[in-house]
Chains A and B, each alone.
Chain A
Amino acid sequence: MKDYAIEVDHVSMKFNINKEGVDNAKEYLIRLAKGNLHFSEFWALKDISFKVEKGDRMGVMGFNGAGKSTLLKTIARVLKPTMGSVSVKGVIAPLIELSAGFDQNYSGRENIFLYGATMGFSRKFIEEKYDEIVEFSELKDFIDAPLKSYSSGMKTRLGFSIATSVKPDVLILDEVLSVGDAAFRDKSEKRLMDMMDDGVTVLFVSHSTDRVKKICNKAIILTQGQLVAQGDSDEMCRIYNQMVKNR
């Protein structure tokens, strides 16, 4: 029996798009009373099933609006699928957006603890990793300054350093990470590559077939919420390039 890190089982995700934009109670009640509450349904994901073996690096490709981000969000437990189920074994580290867990009025030091707590780390764990995080982010001189005085590059550096301080079982990467200047980008890429060498399971979303080929060994292609192809990354990249041409 194979050891799967991620199992996505017949997952569908429905959004109700509300035509008239009812967002206040009066309108809602009036429409409810009239029986006039219409939503148009939109299925962002339709019956998607796939499995990722432990240690596999899976590329997720598709055009804009194909449901890539929605899929990642259901795997990261941010969205609950309308139908079907997702099971993930081990610790997930989502590197989707790197500055959401910060508080602007807090110092860098305090934010390390806050952000870590939001990721579900314990106090002990963050204290152990604190020096490493500060060193990796190269923010030693600014660590007691409030975050509102940081540049956006400094914030993403800090976020990346915290999020990757844990050794995850599953790493979720959305699009290409642009973290700070060239030097830091090399450093962060190296850290991710090291993680992958250690056998971390990766989900990688990208439009670039070159990067998918470089990073992944498997890939899936989504079109309008449906899984149209899955297999080895080289073959999938060929199919995807074909799709781009025929578009």
Chain B
Amino acid sequence: MKKEKSIKGHGENFMKYRFLLSELVHKNIKLQYRDSVLGMLWTFLQPLLMMIVLSFVFGTLFGRDSSKVVNYPVYLLCGRLLFDFFSSSTKRAMKSIRNRASIIKKVYVPKYIYPLSSVISTFVTFLISLLVLVVVILFFNIANINPIHITWRIVFAVVPILILFVFSLGVGMILATLSVFFRDIENIYDVLTTLLFYVTPIVYTIDRLGFAAGSIELKIIKLNPLYGIIDMFRACVIWGGDAFWQHWSMHLMLYCCAAAVVCLVVGFLLFYKFQDKFILHI
């Protein structure tokens, strides 16, 4: 009985503050490029330029294996766009509580609004930046250089994107809680994301690592949910044709779903348990 009431209370509280959530999301997006000459255009330019740089650096090294990659710049862009959303949304969520110290100390606000708004606003920017992928694919298809065969299966791309959102929110909540109590997390996490970038097959294909199928090393790499999420996304974009089922694994999908949901639940519980103590530490 009491529990029911408290769930209803949370719902009402969320409805009361949903305008704050939308204000914060708008603010994060609006302010990101305010005072810059090109403004929102950077959302497209930044990943595009990054793709060109990385294609030059790693293209000759990893791009030759065309049966596994099809089109190296597109292969790279798929991985990097998703990874970039993960790393910047979790970093922003991590800092969201500490950056609002002056507000949290003075006014009552449901605190989860801050990490949540960080992740949502990064997600919106990410969705806009997916247009770069469309443009790049169109460019290669029209120029007829390693064209990508796009099919209706591209709609499946929603699945990895949603899993990624849930996973990032979960990780963001965990980091936000931890960083209130231990500042070190912010420094450690910068290094960790760099490490994560290289242990996730983004610039290379997993086969290039040369581990035997079923080897322990391969299993460890596949434990990383980002591997599965990016792999599924690529399957939808690059291998939407007959080869789709060779690239899309249901096991992997279930594993990623489970990992993301576990992360979110742990994140919310951790945050919920410690949120009343935030004010004493920020």
Contact = CB atoms under 8 A, between A and B. Distances in A.
Interface of A: 15-16, 23-26, 28, 76-80, 92, 94, 96-97, 100-101, 103, 105-106, 110, 113-114, 117-123
Nearest to B104: A78
B107 A117 contact: no
Contacts of B104: 78
Contacts of B27: 103, 106, 110, 114
Contact of B103 (A23, A76, A101): A101
Chain A to chain B: the 10 pairs with minimum beta-carbon distance, closest first: A77-B108, A117-B20, A117-B23, A80-B276, A25-B182, A100-B106, A100-B102, A117-B19, A100-B103, A25-B184
A121 B19 CA distance: 8
Contacts of A121: 19
Interface in B123-178: none
Interface of B: 16-17, 19-20, 22-24, 27, 30-31, 34-35, 102-109, 182-185, 276, 279-281
A153 to B, nearest CB: 19
A113 B23 contact: yes
A105 B34 contact: yes
Contacts, number: 69
A15 B104 CA distance: 17
B13 to A, nearest CB: 9
A78 B103 CA distance: 10
A23 B183 contact: yes
Given A25-B184, A97-B106, A78 B279 contact: yes
Contacts of A77: 108
Tell me what chain A mostly uses at the interface: helix, strand, loop, or mixed: loop
A117 B21 CA distance: 8
A78 B34 contact: no
Contact of A118 (B20, B22, B185): B20
B280 A120 contact: no
A123 B276 CA distance: 28
Contacts of B34: 105
Contacts of B280: 15-16
A78 B107 contact: yes
A229 B10 CA distance: 37
A118 B31 contact: no
A32 to B, nearest CB: 12
B184 A100 contact: no
B184 A101 contact: no
A96 B105 CA distance: 10
A118 B102 contact: no
A76 B107 contact: yes
Contacts of A79: 279
Contact of A94 (B30, B106, B185, B279): B106
Contacts of B24: 114, 117
A23 B179 CA distance: 10
Contacts of A92: 108
Contact of B20 (A26, A103, A120): A120
B196 to A, nearest CB: 19
Nearest to B185: A25
A100 B183 contact: no
Given A100-B106, A117-B23, A120-B17, 10 more contacts: A78-B105, A96-B107, A100-B105, A100-B107, A101-B107, A105-B34, A105-B35, A117-B24, A121-B19, A123-B19
A91 to B, nearest CB: 11
Contacts of B108: 76-78, 92
A23 B27 CA distance: 31
A24 B215 CA distance: 38
A15 B276 CA distance: 12
Nearest to A77: B108
Nearest to A104: B31
A120 B113 CA distance: 12
A106 B31 contact: yes
